[in-house]
Amino acid sequence: MKERIKFIKRYVEWLKKTPNEVWSAQQAEFINALLENAKNFPLSKEEYLRMKERAKRARN
């Protein structure tokens, strides 16, 4: 947990000193990569949700 807090504090400092255009472009690139990667996920949304539900029932 300490490492996570340390990372967040470092990231906030970086955000404060970095122009909006720079960090905004980086965030857009990251989000676009996540969306692109989601297209390549081998399961459909429905298959994934069924799998999650089965796992949840198996734990209980």
pLDDT of 7: 95
For residue 19, give the DSSP letter: -
In angstroms, the CA 11 to CA 4 distance is 10
Q: Per 3-state DSSP, what percentage of the chain is helix, strand, and coil (rounded to 5)?
A: 85, 0, 15
Mind listing the pLDDT tens digit for each residue in 31-60? 999 999 888 888 888 998 999 999 999 987
- Nearest alpha carbon to residue 27 among 40, 11, 13, 10: 11
Is this model's pTM higher than 0.75 or not?
A: no
